[in-house]
A and B are shown apart, each in its own frame.
Chain A
Amino acid sequence: MLAKRIIPCLDIDAGRVVKGVQFVDIRDAGDPVEAARRYNEQGADEITFLDITATSDDRDTIVRVVEQVASQVFIPLTVGGGIRTVSDIRRLLNAGADKVGINSAAVKQPEFVREASDKVGSQCIVLSIDARRVVSTDNETPRWEIFTHGGRRSTGIDAVEWATRMVRYGAGEILLTSMDCDGTRNGFDLKLTRTVCDAVDVPVIASGGVGNLDHLAAGVTEGGADAVLAASIFHFGTYTIQQAKEYMTDKGIEVRL
């Protein structure tokens, strides 16, 4: 049976891991290669790099980071953040990334997703959605709106409609982050996760809000997610990926052990 995936996420700024990764015996907490290697050893199914570099000069460094990681870590790598053109995508894929996450560029120009998936294949294109719950007209059916620019800019676009449209355009996977839950450590927005999972035929990665292992499991059992992404619980050494997998196994979830 296909395993549910656990994906640690590393925020990268100018080629360095920000927040640091607090592994017990890591020499350099800011070195993406070392962090990625450690996650791989713990059994991560995939690693996501989120490039939060602000200046365009420093953006080339993410390509070098991917090159270095991909030379030593033989699991799938996804890179998101600031990707605007097909040539940005190609550079990352050629450096060893397997998938790229597209967010703001898709909102700005939805055809970009079609063009990108045509050129490099749907399997490489992950649509990143930052969604926030909004009050609906009937006050009952929950509704979510997508936000761009790290959740700062409202778009008025309905998240579920957006997801289905982008899949139609060729997105091969959806990375779904709840802005309401992100950073709270109170767990995923399970209703959002479930709604999007049911609406699309491609895999959905739940993200935003994980504070404990039960949250990860709930993302799968209640949210219906195909993969779960978390940053801080792994960064700060609260749990290892291995512990997360053992916990999920106990909950009857199929994982790669």
Chain B
Amino acid sequence: MKVAIIDYGMGNLRSVSKAVQQVAENADVRTTDNCTYIKSADRIVFPGQGAARDCMAAISDHRLSQAILEAAQNKPFLGICMGLEVLMRYSCENNGTNLLNLIPGEAVRFPHDLNLNGRKLKVPHIGWNQVMQTMEHPLWNNIENGSRFYYVHSYYIKLEDASIQSGQTDYGIPFTCAIARDNLFAVQFHPEKSAHAGLRLLKNFIEWDI
């Protein structure tokens, strides 16, 4: 099996790659921006970190938009963190940034007045929070509903079509932390940094038979 971890120069992908290798021993796991390899891969992991505008610029610099959009149509595709956000149409970050427009929805910042029981909540949302599975899905196999995953982000996504939400987390407000549509699954948290639950999700992705 060939797994392509799409590298467009935004952030360290070593941990993602190591975590995927850990759960897919016999797979050929490559961190790459090579369109030919991405086309030929059986699984696509699409990570990312940093600001929305920088991510979009990097995707464009690496001439990856087409390859990403194609891959997202026809084979198991896992978006992680910014790899979820940039699938949307638009982000409010950097005074507004147009994104890949694969999923109707937008990325918005957590409000400044978030609070819980009167105490102000910090942004970025950093740490381990619970994920409520809002849809049955092979990627949730053997992961207990309400398991904690590791987050680091200031923006979250708002979907136009709520039926593709596969997971929800609460941080002062409930927000969509996972989406699923056909061959595509994308999460706001970092499975590669989420210990057992995260590795299980990655394993489920490798075993996912769409």
Spell out A's residues near B (CB within 8 Å). Answer: 1-5, 40, 45, 67, 70-71, 74-76, 93-98, 120-123, 172-173, 201-203, 224, 226-227, 256
Alpha-carbon gap, A67 to B128, bound state (A): 23
- Which stretch from B12-20, B36-44, B56-64, B83-91 is at the chain A interface? B12-20
Q: Report whether B14 and A2 are in contact in the complex, using a CB–CB cutoff of 8 Å.
A: no
Residue of B nearest to A95 (CB): B14
Q: Report whether A75 and B150 are in contact in the complex, using a CB–CB cutoff of 8 Å.
A: yes
Contact of A74 among B122, B123, B199 (CB under 8 A): B199
Q: Is the interface of A mostly helix, strand, loop or mixed?
A: loop
Q: Report whether B124 and A70 are in contact in the complex, using a CB–CB cutoff of 8 Å.
A: no
Q: Report whether B129 and A3 are in contact in the complex, using a CB–CB cutoff of 8 Å.
A: yes
Q: Report whether B49 and A203 are in contact in the complex, using a CB–CB cutoff of 8 Å.
A: no
Spell out B's residues near A (CB within 8 Å). Answer: 11-12, 14-15, 18-19, 22, 49-51, 116, 119-130, 148, 150, 152-153, 170-171, 192-195, 198-199
Alpha-carbon gap, A2 to B195, bound state (A): 16
Contact of B195 among A1, A75, A226 (CB under 8 A): A75
Q: Report whether B170 and A203 are in contact in the complex, using a CB–CB cutoff of 8 Å.
A: no
Given A2-B171, A40-B195, A98-B193, the answer on whether A71 and B126 have CB atoms closer than 8 Å is: no
Q: Nearest 10 A-B pairs (CB), nearest first?
A: A256-B128, A3-B128, A256-B148, A123-B152, A93-B12, A2-B129, A71-B18, A203-B122, A96-B14, A76-B193
* Contacts A/B (CB < 8 Å), 28 sampled: A1-B129, A1-B170, A3-B128, A3-B129, A4-B127, A67-B14, A70-B18, A74-B18, A74-B22, A74-B192, A74-B193, A74-B194, A74-B198, A93-B11, A94-B12, A94-B14, A96-B18, A98-B193, A121-B11, A121-B50, A121-B51, A122-B124, A123-B124, A172-B126, A201-B120, A201-B122, A224-B119, A226-B122
Contact of B15 among A4, A70, A226, A227 (CB under 8 A): A70
Contact of B125 among A2, A4, A45 (CB under 8 A): A2
Alpha-carbon gap, A189 to B181, bound state (A): 50
Residue of B nearest to A200 (CB): B122
| Least CB distance, A173 to chain B, in whole angstroms | 6
Alpha-carbon gap, A45 to B148, bound state (A): 11
Residue of B nearest to A74 (CB): B19
Alpha-carbon gap, A32 to B119, bound state (A): 37
| Least CB distance, B74 to chain A, in whole angstroms | 29
Chain A residues, Cβ within 8 Å of B170: 1
Chain A residues, Cβ within 8 Å of B12: 93-94, 96-97
Q: Report whether B124 and A202 are in contact in the complex, using a CB–CB cutoff of 8 Å.
A: yes
| Least CB distance, A255 to chain B, in whole angstroms | 8
Q: Report whether B15 and A121 are in contact in the complex, using a CB–CB cutoff of 8 Å.
A: no
Alpha-carbon gap, A2 to B169, bound state (A): 9
Q: Report whether B128 and A5 are in contact in the complex, using a CB–CB cutoff of 8 Å.
A: yes
Other A-B pairs beyond A1-B130, A45-B127, A98-B193, 16, CB < 8 Å: A1-B170, A3-B148, A70-B18, A71-B18, A74-B195, A74-B199, A75-B150, A76-B193, A93-B11, A96-B15, A120-B50, A123-B124, A123-B126, A203-B124, A203-B127, A256-B148
From B49, B116, B123, B152, residue with most partner A Cβ within 10 Å: B152
Chain B residues, Cβ within 8 Å of A203: 122, 124, 126-127
Chain B residues, Cβ within 8 Å of A120: 50
Residue of A nearest to B129 (CB): A2
| Least CB distance, B16 to chain A, in whole angstroms | 10
Chain B residues, Cβ within 8 Å of A40: 195
| Least CB distance, A19 to chain B, in whole angstroms | 25
| Least CB distance, B193 to chain A, in whole angstroms | 5
Chain A residues, Cβ within 8 Å of B150: 75-76
